[in-house]
Structure 1
């Protein structure tokens, strides 16, 4: 009897173990399900220090301990927007331990990329599938389940709800997660990121950005080398009114994560906001070199998108220093580029902005009127906002070379592109093109002799621009509308009003060469010799190149010498 009972008990235990094992196997995603994610693969590639410096953090998960170092590395890459490399590391964890729920969370986060353009349909599908697989796994803590629900809020309804609405949903979910787990540093950091991602570009009070900055500033003393804290502080304060608050973070980020091309570039957002051109140049020279290294190491056919992003910032900074030679070198180099990967919004923007900046800042109107659309491995029709920059440049060139019929043709093209953006419900970019349309109409009216209408429209364009923030992809508008208003007021012999416009432009765009020169010239004509001397001296300090061919610098030097 005793033996029979022992045999029966053993049988029951064996049956229970078998049942539990079967459930575990069913709970682990199949190889087919994992393969359907089309995860990025291959060795992790970075450029910079040999010991891969991305900052310091530790985010404990319920996954096996042998995955912890890889998870921390992937999260550091994620915080520096090295999305492809982050996904590779998360994918390695999934292939080794397909029951690690937070690795799927990492894949979903790698395809979200807040603060950039909305994910593609393929990225949205990947993220949604990854979250579904993670949520089917039984081995996750309540906190990890909350993380999955939070990113799930972004992917939910991805094919029916707008990107903006889903960013708001992610923000609310991260706010709740952070409140539920107040000791979780990562939850607070990602809540701050979500706030900035969900901020309304037309909110000039920067409510969400200030809240994000306050969260990150409070976290900084305990984690001064955390890449997310430093990086997201820069993004939160990337506006004229707040930029000074981010200067310490900007001057530290590259040293914390020198193995990230984006970390090398990102400080230049703040340097540009504050008109610190030498620091901006250093930042982007290092970033571009790192991006070129990455493209070569990964075997990218052509160039990596991060390289062109840095080149646009280089062009902008060189122009503000009056260094036409090095600025033109960026354009000449761009003309040799025919293929960039990924061919995304950043690439299209750089291709449109780099040549436009050069001809417009230098007032090379004939060249502006004839500016060709650069040719590369993307279709301009897929990027209406970026395409509009080229047509806006041509319009201004046509106006200033008395080709009003051609200018009106370009104006109609801008209206077509603006209508397409409106149809796509891309309100922000449609507004940016509307500013260009209003500016173009203003200058056409001026050439037609309708001075009052011209000034009214140009003032309207400047007011519209003042109430919208620039997109993170750009160091600044190809020409600020308020600066153009100053130029127009100078042409109609209203130097006092022009001075007001230039000074307002300089508040948003410190140390811009053309605004400084315009302010000095307007002050001189208005009889304010002290102000004129001050602005011209500031201009020569910002752009001290004695060999620069810029006539503005020559005129400033002559004025200053005459006052001595």
Structure 2
């Protein structure tokens, strides 16, 4: 696994950010290429591959996009935008990732210096694209500083070429990418305003649709994203990420049946591509995780899918991706269905963040046993101390994971007080943990922890006969995590007979 792909996987403790693009192509694939209107000055063969790569780039199918851009370079070695496109595949703004050195290596293949590369531009617009990417991957500055400088370049391009749909799409994405450390609603709404103007004229452009879905995939704004969800899956039926992305809106709307269907389709696309590449179908991964969560929220049995991922994770030589994916699925199945996982083998337990997730589940399982909770808490605290160092090595731009690790520990600290019989301080600590969770930026997709603290607080209050307070906690849980089955059941129990 590369540094960049491992960095993506690390983030999944806190946010569902690691999406795995495929390397195989399907004959006659439909990824939105026909909606690309990018003006190029290249050979016909190079242009065809460039436009395909551009559509895949807008779909976040990064590996396939890079391959298409390299094919464009082979067809026309002097086509500057083909190198721009491949370099752009190493910037993942919504996942807090960027591999600057890999991107600069690609640009160096075009020409050794920025001035030499600028001379390769066929026109003023190509020169502006190249100038922007030089800023994005500049040698100086932090990633945040470079993101903001790149955004300034894109704003200038949009002002100069307001009718260029790709300038508009990438400007909107750059605005989203300036929201460091999670969703800042004003920034996301600014991006939506830029992108909506593009939707009015290019309602089937994959980038416009994709980035608007990201702009709106929170419970408050999700109704605005239904228009994009209606179109995106049909625009790019052979892009697994596009099939999955519409479930961001369905999830925020708590439409679990639609989310289930979308992720089944996404998984099927991935499996077809894996089989075409001579690989086995995937039982783990982002789309399977969201599928499991959607099944559980409908009260459906997800055990077969969880077991299949466990088989891929618990091997003699486990790899990080399946272990992380299984830990997420197993945590949800444990909390939502009461099917508690058996411990993984020693090799699989060596991965830090998945181990933290499963230790958290052990604390929830033994929440009435003081010794069990204290043992889990001690292990979580010890592991948490190692997380900053791990992120510094593997995901240095991540500002999202550690706050949620801290929230998980705070929840278990409250459980320890409750298990020890200190009801007053335990409930106060649990309420403080819930309020702190709500104060963090909204996470798209399933909750960042196995069990939201508002739901846990509601259950504790309900068990103490404090039904009105419990109802309030469950309502807050549902605002935080719409449509959660256990919170809905808790609210029903808390309001029955009142």
**Structure 2 length-normalised TM:** 0.85
Match of 2:289 among 312, 317, 341: 312
Render the CA deviation track for 1:53-92: whole Å, top value 9, x for unaligned: 4251210123334422222111011111111111111101
Render the CA deviation track for 1:184-220: whole Å, top value 9, x for unaligned: 221111010111122144555x111111111111111
Instruction: Tell me the CA shift for residue 400 of structure 1.
Output: 3.5
CA distance in 1, matches of 2:187, 2:237: 29
In structure 2, relative to structure 1, the CA distance for the partners of 1:414 and 1:44 (3 Å cut) is: closer
For 1:332-371, list aligned pairs within 5 A.
332-338=307-313, 349-364=324-339, 367=340, 371=343
CA distance in 1, matches of 2:400, 2:61: 26
Matched, 1:413 2:382: yes
Instruction: Indicate the residue corresponding to 1:380 in structure 2.
Output: 351
Q: Which has the higher relative contact order, 1 or 2, with Cα contacts under 8 A spaced 6 or more apart?
A: 2
Matched, 1:460 2:432: yes
Instruction: Indicate the residue corresponding to 2:365 in structure 1.
Output: 397
Instruction: Indicate the residue corresponding to 2:134 in structure 1.
Output: 152
CA distance in 1, matches of 2:177, 2:322: 21
Instruction: Indicate the residue corresponding to 2:124 in structure 1.
Output: 142
- Residues 373 and 412 of structure 2 are in contact (CA less than 8 Å); yes or no, is this contact kept in structure 1? no
- Residues 334 and 351 of structure 1 are in contact (CA less than 8 Å); yes or no, is this contact kept in structure 2? yes
CA distance in 2, matches of 1:131, 1:502: 57
CA distance in 1, matches of 2:345, 2:174: 36
Instruction: Tell me the CA shift for residue 133 of structure 1.
Output: 4.9
For 1:473-488, list aligned pairs within 5 A.
477-488=449-460
- Residues 175 and 188 of structure 2 are in contact (CA less than 8 Å); yes or no, is this contact kept in structure 1? yes
Render the CA deviation track for 1:284-319: whole Å, top value 9, x for unaligned: 11111111111121234x5569x6111101110111
Match of 2:472 among 483, 500, 510: 500
In structure 2, relative to structure 1, the CA distance for the partners of 1:202 and 1:106 (3 Å cut) is: closer
Instruction: Indicate the residue corresponding to 1:163 in structure 2.
Output: 143
CA distance in 1, matches of 2:282, 2:154: 32
CA distance in 1, matches of 2:165, 2:112: 26
Instruction: Indicate the residue corresponding to 1:437 in structure 2.
Output: 409
Q: 435-444 or 93-102: which moved more?
A: 93-102
Instruction: Indicate the residue corresponding to 1:177 in structure 2.
Output: 157
In structure 2, relative to structure 1, the CA distance for the partners of 1:469 and 1:407 (3 Å cut) is: same
- Residues 143 and 397 of structure 2 are in contact (CA less than 8 Å); yes or no, is this contact kept in structure 1? no
- Residues 418 and 434 of structure 1 are in contact (CA less than 8 Å); yes or no, is this contact kept in structure 2? no
Instruction: Indicate the residue corresponding to 1:45 in structure 2.
Output: 24
In structure 2, relative to structure 1, the CA distance for the partners of 1:393 and 1:494 (3 Å cut) is: same
- Residues 352 and 374 of structure 1 are in contact (CA less than 8 Å); yes or no, is this contact kept in structure 2? no
In structure 2, relative to structure 1, the CA distance for the partners of 1:79 and 1:316 (3 Å cut) is: same
CA distance in 1, matches of 2:346, 2:242: 28
Render the CA deviation track for 1:107-127: whole Å, top value 9, x for unaligned: 111121222351357635545
Instruction: Indicate the residue corresponding to 1:82 in structure 2.
Output: 61
Instruction: Indicate the residue corresponding to 2:13 in structure 1.
Output: none
Instruction: Indicate the residue corresponding to 2:7 in structure 1.
Output: none
CA distance in 1, matches of 2:443, 2:213: 14
Instruction: Indicate the residue corresponding to 2:207 in structure 1.
Output: 228
Instruction: Indicate the residue corresponding to 1:188 in structure 2.
Output: 168
- Residues 462 and 481 of structure 1 are in contact (CA less than 8 Å); yes or no, is this contact kept in structure 2? yes
In structure 2, relative to structure 1, the CA distance for the partners of 1:357 and 1:98 (3 Å cut) is: same
CA distance in 2, matches of 1:67, 1:418: 44
Q: Pairwise CA RMSD of aligned residues?
A: 2.9
- Residues 23 and 63 of structure 2 are in contact (CA less than 8 Å); yes or no, is this contact kept in structure 1? no
In the alignment, structure 2 segments of 5+ residues that lack a partner are: 1-21
Matched, 1:54 2:32: yes
Instruction: Indicate the residue corresponding to 2:193 in structure 1.
Output: 214
**Structure 1 length-normalised TM:** 0.76
For 1:473-552, list aligned pairs within 5 A.
477-524=449-496, 527-528=497-498
- Residues 151 and 170 of structure 1 are in contact (CA less than 8 Å); yes or no, is this contact kept in structure 2? yes
Instruction: Indicate the residue corresponding to 2:5 in structure 1.
Output: none
CA distance in 1, matches of 2:282, 2:91: 19
Match of 1:112 among 77, 88, 91: 91
In structure 2, relative to structure 1, the CA distance for the partners of 1:151 and 1:286 (3 Å cut) is: same
Instruction: Indicate the residue corresponding to 1:246 in structure 2.
Output: 225
Counterpart of 2:406 in 1: which secondary structure?
Answer: helix
In the alignment, structure 1 segments of 5+ residues that lack a partner are: 1-42, 529-564
Render the CA deviation track for 1:388-425: whole Å, top value 9, x for unaligned: 22221122223244424423333423532455468667
In structure 2, relative to structure 1, the CA distance for the partners of 1:202 and 1:258 (3 Å cut) is: closer
Counterpart of 1:213 in 2: which secondary structure?
Answer: helix
- Residues 101 and 134 of structure 1 are in contact (CA less than 8 Å); yes or no, is this contact kept in structure 2? no
CA distance in 2, matches of 1:181, 1:379: 52
In structure 2, relative to structure 1, the CA distance for the partners of 1:446 and 1:351 (3 Å cut) is: same
